[in-house]
Structure 1
Amino acid sequence: MTTADPSATSSWLVVDHPLTSAAAEDLGRRPGKAIPDAVFGADDRRFGLLVGLVITLLAAITRFWDLTQPTDKGTPVFDEKHYVPQAWQVLTGGNWIEDNPAYGLVVHPPVGKWVLALGEAVFGYGPLGWRIMPALCGIGIVVMVYCVARRMARSTLVGAVAGLLAICDGVLFVQSRLGMLDIVQTFFVVAAFTALICDRDQMRRRLDTAYSDGIAHLSPYGPRFGFRWYRFTAGVMLGLACGTKWSGIYFVIAFTLMSLAFDVAARRAYGITRPWRGVAVRDVLPSTLSLAVMPVAIYLATFIPWFASETSVYRYQAQASTTGVLGWIPPAWRSLWHYQSGILKFHEGLTNSAGNHHPWESKPWTWPMGLRPMLYAIQTGPDRCGDGECSRVQMLIGTPAIWWFALPVLAWSLWSFVGRRDWRYGAALVGYGAAFAPWFANIDRQMYYFYATTMAPFLMILTALCLGDILHRAGHFPRRADGSPPDRQFLVVGFVAVYLALVIVNFAWLWPVLTGVPITREHWHAEIWLPSWA
């Protein structure tokens, strides 16, 4: 094997067969299907940065506004009552791990509680302390949705639409204002997805350089690539997602397959003779190490404090048992296995048939359109509403102007991917499917609408891509004889503008029941649009 001349290509390329420069040039530029245009993201970087700053500012204003409300008389609400005290125990116990089963439901890995503990370390044990980090995660999600949609569509406008939808989505908004784990996991999932989209562009840029240099076809498998930092970053984020909640494993599987599909498509696009074999030889092992093995290693690494502590939950559960098939395994690892098995048993037993019912539970077929929201907090009594009765209500409601259009958006996205081979829709559908489809494996399990938090960013991206398609088609309408745009172009652009205005108005209307603002009982009843919301 001979390495390519450094003067001809970069250090990350290695070729397997020495050829003359003339032969290499002939292979690198052989006739056939045209290669893709060398466009990797939107080209208006300065304007894109300005729009991104505006999106970030709007996200910060909405997420930080009156962040300390509502509370249950100064204490956490709903599932905050589990994770907020556990985060405080992690922070104050001296071991960075839960060591008191009395806190209850120690059934999730520690990463999400570490994140909550960071806020509590700065602002103390109070609403601001346990909600500041989820708010920052929510802002980060909005920014990443803007960036990744902009990169996928090669359009700052489409990215801005996606960012606006993410700002105005009730699910992402409410979850960003509570000390729970779902928004933390969603942050890591979206970060992994963003990194893999960047990795896709980077690999195509490298292939384009190799093609231009005439060395792309020196091997029938295509060129080798060096270390892929974006893919490595995605693996780290997936490991942290699994270290927050077990459902991160679904994204590990889905994103690993998606990354390999990107590699196959890239090699095919640049005319590599054996793209599938090339991916099998060159990409499967490093992709598996980065996106599958490393998340497992990171997950286990999150339990280092558990191993180091003398008082962590179930730390010595298997200490006395040295017999049996697994007797050769060190007691600490058997205790960890017992701990993880107990978590699995807890989740398996959390079923309706076992008598576990909740008045606000929902099944996954209701999630795409948000037909069964979640009531987090409710307080009634006189409260700045004059002499009448007031209510502070906080509900997890997906903005209907977005979520009620989910089915046509998904249908168009599926058609665009299958019928038009539009990779952008396929990538976003992978993320949406990994967040949605696995929950159908056990319908009897007790489930809640907040499980759909990881679906929301991908729904925003898909909706923005659909609106981008509408605007793109409007731009190709034939002009009038005098060169002016046709009326139907104004109608289409107006339709998109009116829809986005409707989203903003809908979000503003729901604001009181998303934030727990004191409202009259009549106002609250006016916010309930469907019987299933009550």
Structure 2
Amino acid sequence: MQGNAPLGDGPAPTARPGDRTALLGPPPPTDRLRGWLVAIVLALVAAVVRFTGLGHPTDGGTPVFDEKHYVPQAWQILRNGGVADNPGFELVVHPPLGKQLIALGQLVFGYDGFGWRAAAALAGTLAVLLIVRVARRLTRSTLLGGLAGVLLICDGLSHVQSRMGMLDAFSALFVLAAFVTLVRDRDDVRARMALVVAEGRIGDSPYGPRLGVRWWRLATGVLLGLGCAVKWSGAYWLAAFAVLAVLWDVTARRAAGVERPWLGTIRRDLGPALWALALVPVLAYLAAWWGWFASETATDRYVVGDEIGTGGPWSFVPDALRSLWYYSSKVLAFHSGLTTESSGVHPWESKPWTWPMGLRPMLYYYASGEHVTGCGAASCVSAVMLVGTPALWWPAIGVLAFALWRTLAGFDWRYAAVLVGYGAGILPWFANIDRQMYFFYMTPVAPFLVLAVTLLLGETLGRAGASRERRQTGLLVVGLWVGAVVANFVWLWPILVGEPITAEMWDTQLWLPSWRQ
């Protein structure tokens, strides 16, 4: 399944600037058809896993946990022309796109558990397709791309969030899609540079060539803007990916033999980057507010001249944007005040140092007693717990440490890119540890953990030129690790989907004291 690319192949070997190998790295696998078939088949498997029993559980036919916030808002958006203006939702604390997507599921399937979770399940399915493709591009191996898809399918965190009428599955999809297009832009830029080198034009200017329109980078900007339109935390990835894109431009010009790569990046790339990764995301973000802009009754839509004056230094800004800024300032104030001290201790909140290994999961749903049947006992338990599959999450510290070592010692851009995506989702939360925080914030980070593990699996497999004994040992270790993740996921399945189990079985599912309330 690997085409002509050696398993675990890394970045381009050391070469002189201007060398084609230094620019393009190892060739991609030649099995394009098989690569797409693997991705599509795994996406179909993910669809079966994510959609099976999607309508269960509910709280007597109503949403569970934080679904209670977003599902009714989405239903009103659907019935009210794209905007929630119910006075009961005076302060809606997230942008509208995620709820608009939930509303699409309700439009197709109705207001029930399946309907309000269908869009999230589709997002989780598409994420599997994307991770197979980007892992294949990073590793130059269809086999490793497929293993990445298997790991994401079997991640308990990603699975549960893909089956909830909440926003995080959409955040994960847009962040991962932006990462895919950013990596694709990197390869495209280097291919353009290689063409200039081949034509002998790299020395025409000490700053290197102009690269023209970079459609993949524009797509990255759109996707990051949409991610921010689901949750403002998307801004963390917007900033991180923008820095990463500029650094990749510098290294591409340096690898091509450009005389002044840094100045060349500033002169040739920085202006278009500001357009693609600053203005375009803002426009994409504002586009998600179309219903709010078009509404006559949306919350704070017409505060100019009422809550805020018509004059002042910002009077040149259109009233609609000033109103949105005012509304957003109240949302920001809400988030800033959402601390343990002011709001109390939530029974399932956690701090970011527990997230890499998933030490403090969350209980979304719990029912027990004689009215819960189907486990073969007089009294059963039905529960849904948000928990990362331990065989995938518990080795995370070692995996991340290895990725950091490969970044610093081996200058491997792939590990660096994955660490940037991972760090953007967790490091900002350390800035305010008094805030109420929850494990589901790691939903957009989970794909980057999977990619880090996949890169390590490639190292474990070894290169194509390794000895037979080395390769067989690598295959055994990889098979055991991936098999452990799959088996662990199967074991946890009842508490990931709310299947009725005995009280004794429920007790055996709670592996750590921190898994209990």
Give yes or no for the alignment of 1:122 onto 2:108.
Answer: yes
- After TM superposition, the score normalised by the length of structure 1 is 0.90
> Contact (CA 8 Å) 1:85, 1:103: kept in 2 or not?
no
Q: Distance in 1 between matches of 2:398 and 2:375?
A: 41
C-alpha change, 1:519 and 1:285, in structure 2 (3 Å) is same
Number of aligned residue pairs = 496
Unmatched segments (≥5 aa) in structure 2: 1-14
Q: Where does residue 326 of structure 2 map in the other structure?
A: 338
> Contact (CA 8 Å) 2:17, 2:256: kept in 1 or not?
no
Q: Where does residue 351 of structure 1 map in the other structure?
A: 339
Give yes or no for the alignment of 1:362 onto 2:330.
Answer: no
C-alpha change, 1:134 and 1:425, in structure 2 (3 Å) is same
Give yes or no for the alignment of 1:49 onto 2:25.
Answer: no
Give yes or no for the alignment of 1:530 onto 2:512.
Answer: yes
**Deviation digits for residues 29-54 of structure 1 (CA, Å, limit 9, x no counterpart):** x9867442644533221221221122
Secondary structure of the residue aligned to 2:356 is coil
**Deviation digits for residues 273-316 of structure 1 (CA, Å, limit 9, x no counterpart):** 11111110111111111111211122223223212211101223
Give yes or no for the alignment of 1:492 onto 2:474.
Answer: yes
Q: Where does residue 521 of structure 1 map in the other structure?
A: 503
Secondary structure of the residue aligned to 2:343 is coil
**Deviation digits for residues 392-442 of structure 1 (CA, Å, limit 9, x no counterpart):** 100000000000010000000000011000000001111101111001111
Aligned pairs (5 A) from 1:306-321: 306-320=292-306, 321=308
Shift of 1:72: 0.7
Q: Where does residue 242 of structure 2 map in the other structure?
A: 256
Aligned pairs (5 A) from 1:411-426: 411-426=401-416
C-alpha change, 1:40 and 1:118, in structure 2 (3 Å) is farther
Q: Distance in 2 between matches of 1:157 and 1:278?
A: 38
Q: Where does residue 109 of structure 1 map in the other structure?
A: 95
Secondary structure of the residue aligned to 2:410 is coil
Give yes or no for the alignment of 1:182 onto 2:168.
Answer: yes
Give yes or no for the alignment of 1:294 onto 2:276.
Answer: no
C-alpha change, 1:52 and 1:289, in structure 2 (3 Å) is same
Q: Distance in 1 between matches of 2:267 and 2:18?
A: 24
C-alpha change, 1:334 and 1:47, in structure 2 (3 Å) is closer
For 1:367, give the aligned amino acid: W
**Deviation digits for residues 76-101 of structure 1 (CA, Å, limit 9, x no counterpart):** 1111111011011111012x111113
For 2:345, give the aligned amino acid: H
Give yes or no for the alignment of 1:237 onto 2:223.
Answer: yes
Aligned pairs (5 A) from 1:423-434: 423-434=413-424
Secondary structure of the residue aligned to 1:36 is helix
Give yes or no for the alignment of 1:392 onto 2:392.
Answer: no
For 1:373, give the aligned amino acid: P
Q: Where does residue 434 of structure 2 map in the other structure?
A: 444
Shift of 1:317: 3.1
> Contact (CA 8 Å) 2:221, 2:277: kept in 1 or not?
yes
Shift of 1:135: 0.6
Q: Where does residue 485 of structure 2 map in the other structure?
A: 503
C-alpha change, 1:526 and 1:334, in structure 2 (3 Å) is same
RMSD: 1.7
**Deviation digits for residues 2-45 of structure 1 (CA, Å, limit 9, x no counterpart):** xxxxxxxxxxxxxxxxxxxxxxxxxxxx9867442644533221
> If you compute each CA radius of gyration, which structure gives the higher value, 1 or 2?
1
Q: Distance in 2 between matches of 1:31 and 1:497?
A: 38
> Contact (CA 8 Å) 1:351, 1:446: kept in 2 or not?
yes
Q: Distance in 1 between matches of 2:21 and 2:210?
A: 20
Secondary structure of the residue aligned to 2:341 is coil
**Deviation digits for residues 513-534 of structure 1 (CA, Å, limit 9, x no counterpart):** 0000111111011000000000
Q: Where does residue 77 of structure 1 map in the other structure?
A: 64
For 1:428, give the aligned amino acid: V
Secondary structure of the residue aligned to 1:184 is helix
Question: Which of 129, 141, 159 is residue 173 of structure 1 equivalent to?
Answer: 159
Q: Where does residue 12 of structure 2 map in the other structure?
A: none
**Deviation digits for residues 324-381 of structure 1 (CA, Å, limit 9, x no counterpart):** 7357355443332221110000001100121332100000000000000011011112
> Contact (CA 8 Å) 1:82, 1:105: kept in 2 or not?
no
Q: 359-368 or 37-46: which moved more? A: 37-46
For 1:120, give the aligned amino acid: Q
Secondary structure of the residue aligned to 2:59 is coil
- After TM superposition, the score normalised by the length of structure 2 is 0.93
Q: Distance in 2 between matches of 1:233 and 1:66?
A: 34
Q: Where does residue 17 of structure 1 map in the other structure?
A: none
Q: Distance in 2 between matches of 1:496 and 1:418?
A: 25
Shift of 1:239: 0.6
Q: Where does residue 22 of structure 1 map in the other structure?
A: none
Question: Which of 454, 465, 471 is residue 444 of structure 2 equivalent to?
Answer: 454
**Deviation digits for residues 449-472 of structure 1 (CA, Å, limit 9, x no counterpart):** 000111100000000000101112
> Contact (CA 8 Å) 1:318, 1:338: kept in 2 or not?
no
Task: Please list every run of at least 4 consecutive aligned residues from structure 1 whose deviation after the TM superposition is greater than 3 angstroms.
Answer: 30-35, 37-41, 323-327, 329-334, 475-478
Secondary structure of the residue aligned to 1:187 is helix
Q: Distance in 1 between matches of 2:343 and 2:104?
A: 36
> Contact (CA 8 Å) 1:82, 1:103: kept in 2 or not?
no
Q: Distance in 2 between matches of 1:97 and 1:326?
A: 30
**Deviation digits for residues 238-281 of structure 1 (CA, Å, limit 9, x no counterpart):** 11001111001111110111111111111111111111111101
Give yes or no for the alignment of 1:196 onto 2:213.
Answer: no
Q: Percent identity?
A: 51
Higher relative contact order (Cα pairs below 8 Å, separated by 6+ residues): 2
Secondary structure of the residue aligned to 2:29 is coil
Give yes or no for the alignment of 1:64 onto 2:51.
Answer: yes
> Contact (CA 8 Å) 1:319, 1:331: kept in 2 or not?
no
> Contact (CA 8 Å) 2:462, 2:474: kept in 1 or not?
no
Give yes or no for the alignment of 1:373 onto 2:361.
Answer: yes
Secondary structure of the residue aligned to 2:443 is helix
C-alpha change, 1:40 and 1:493, in structure 2 (3 Å) is closer
> Contact (CA 8 Å) 1:36, 1:270: kept in 2 or not?
no
Secondary structure of the residue aligned to 1:243 is helix
Unmatched segments (≥5 aa) in structure 1: 1-29, 479-484
For 1:51, give the aligned amino acid: V
**Deviation digits for residues 115-149 of structure 1 (CA, Å, limit 9, x no counterpart):** 11111111111111111110110011111111101
Give yes or no for the alignment of 1:98 onto 2:80.
Answer: no
